[in-house]
Structures are given as C-alpha cells and as structure tokens.
Amino acid sequence: MAQLVTRVDARLLADVDQLVTEGVASTRSDAVRLGLEALVERHRREQAGQAIVDGYRRQPQNDEELAGLNEATRSLIEEEPW
C-alpha cells in the first residue's frame, strides 16, 4: 500500500484526533483515508452529474418525452400511504 505524507495545522490535527476519540475513525491514518475517499467519491459524482446536464443541454427532452410526466408524478404521490 502506498504511503502519503502531509502536514496539517494544530486545529485540523485536533479535529482529526477528536474523530478518532469519538470512534468515527480508528486511527489518524484511517481518518485521512476516509476523508480522501469521500473527496474522490464527491468529485466522481459531480463529474457524473455534470455529464448528465451536458447531455440534456446537447439534446433536450422534447414535448413527446415530457408528455404525461405530471400525471405520472401525481399518480405516484397518490399511491403513497401518508
């Protein structure tokens, strides 16, 4: 497994140590790994979302594709037991 070395200020180190104390992460390294995984996942999701938006901008939905969506949405809501 590769190793990363970084420097953090005292405030961030204290926050990371608090996460370990509270059991959010098992070690400082685990906390850093969890943070990096979350950052990578967030970036991937943002890229996927932007690709979807770009696709709809290139080829917007037409009236035929949109027809009936309001009624279908109403039906789904009416089926809810609330």
What are the structural domain ranges in the chain? 8-59
> Cβ(10)–Cβ(18) under 8 Å?
no
- What is the pLDDT, as a whole number, of residue 8? 97
Low-confidence residues of the chain, pLDDT below 50?
none
Q: What is the pTM of this model?
A: 0.72
- What is the pLDDT, as a whole number, of residue 66? 86
- What is the pLDDT, as a whole number, of residue 21? 98
- What is the pLDDT, as a whole number, of residue 63? 87
- What is the pLDDT, as a whole number, of residue 69? 87
- What is the pLDDT, as a whole number, of residue 19? 98
Which residues, in sequence order, are CB contacts of 20 under 8 Å at separation 6+? 26, 27, 28, 30, 31
